[in-house]
Amino acid sequence: MGILNSGLRRLALMTLALSAALPAQAQYPFETTVEKEEERFQAIIKNHSGNASFEFIQGITLEVQWWELLGEPVNYYKLKWNRGTNFQLPSGTTRDDLSKYPDLLRRFDAMKPLSFEFEIDFELKDMKPNCGPTIKDTDTFARGSRFVNSTKHLLIGKNGEVQSSLSPGSGSWADFATWLNDETYSPEVVKKTFVCATTLTLYKISTLKAEIPEREIAAIDAAYAKREKEKEQKAEEEKKKKEDKLKDLAARLNGEKKAAAPDSSSDGIAGRLLNAEKKLEARLEAERKAREEAERRRLEEERRQRELEAQINKCNSSAFTGWNHTYGTCEKRSLKDSDLRISDTFTVATKKVKITVVDHNSAQDDDYQLFVNEKYIGDVKNITGGSTTLTANLQSGENLIELRLLRDRGNGTGLKLQISPGNYESQFNGTHNHSYIINVIE
């Protein structure tokens, strides 16, 4: 079996090497190439199929981060998977069908794969001059495969949600990859190849294993079928009760006709019974409508209150606006208002800047969202000791930079803000929003 697997692996990698002559988009539709930045490769590779819309898993997206630390390889992954847009339970029940039972719908939306195992085909390219020895000193390609699984490397989130690993993982250069043609290289050569490479291409990601929650799928399907059956039975019972009531009324009317009271009106007893029945039904219908109207008004008032609260929160969350409770309006306010938390003010001479947030300690810091002049730029979710760099376009004059608290990690905040060009650096602390003013003088 080992010889067979080795032969198949050799054939697969040789096919990968020969396919370089074919158009990249046709051979590898999700191929991606990135350059090394700050001694780290960071790339995103997808595997998505429109033909799998009826499957539980239609596609996956994996963010790959590889770097070298203290002489050893380090990896960090972020995984997102997507359920098939037309996925159905075994009975044919769809997500829309489950919407009538909110608890079953929540269980359906919470389902996720139990485990994953992937194979990533990659190539290290563009070696630095006078750097080696590397694999490319003796071979044409530095191509190989890495195996990633949910036991060692990944956490699995809900459908459509990006789930990050808890912390970076490490290994050894000896088992860094399976190389083209099953060649073996010394750990030092593998390390030098990685360190010297300036470009990484991810050709494809193959799903070797995907364990779906079959027991939960079957359980939700059975629960839905049971409730639908109970609903049908209840409808039949209500129908039978109504029919029995009509039969009883008909029998009573027939009996009264046979023994009419001497003082009966010209309309007869049957007519009086029918009128009484109609009045009762009319009264019950009026009460039902009154209850429905009261419930409608209550829900409408709750909706209006929620919308108002959302407007107030949105207005007050901005450094540029504040809610006027007297007039019930969102009003613009000056950057000089005393309630605006400004950490610092500085000046730059260009409109395009790079904003970097650096974790300079050994604790996991809080997560933030970066806004420039009320425009969302990106998330700042640093791993311990990591950094995030985002590019922003400023306007002439006064600009507002905001770091809005996204998630309290429980360890507080101790980060550095760096802005270039201009070589500005400022340390900020505390689990709350942080703001800065940039003056652009051209």
Dist. CA 154–CA 258, nearest whole Å: 83
pLDDT at 1 over 90: no
pLDDT at 322 over 50: yes
pLDDT for the residue 87: 93
pLDDT for the residue 340: 43
Tokens 């490319």, residue? Answer: 136
Evaluate the CA torsion angle 286, 292, 298, 300 in order and state its sign.
negative
pLDDT for the residue 429: 86
Tokens 């000896």, residue? Answer: 174
How confident is the model over 242-255, as a mean pLDDT? 73
Condensed to tens digits (0 to 9), the pLDDT of residues 23-76 reads 444 468 889 999 999 999 999 999 987 777 889 999 999 999 999 999 999 999
Tell me which H or E stretch contains 417: strand 414-420
pLDDT for the residue 189: 94
pLDDT for the residue 11: 37
- pLDDT confidence tier of residue 339, bands split at 50, 70 and 90: very low
Domains of the chain as residue ranges with CATH = 2-212 (no CATH), 344-440 (2.60.40)
Q: Determine the distance from the C-alpha atom of residue 355 to the mean position of all C-alpha atoms in its chain, rounded to a whole number.
A: 25
pLDDT at 432 over 70: yes
Tell me which H or E stretch contains 66: strand 59-69
Mean pLDDT of the chain: 82
- pLDDT confidence tier of residue 211, bands split at 50, 70 and 90: very high
Q: Determine the distance from the C-alpha atom of residue 111 to the mean position of all C-alpha atoms in its chain, rounded to a whole number.
A: 14
Tell me which H or E stretch contains 399: strand 397-407
pTM of the model: 0.50
How confident is the model over 133-151, as a mean pLDDT? 89
pLDDT at 392 over 50: yes
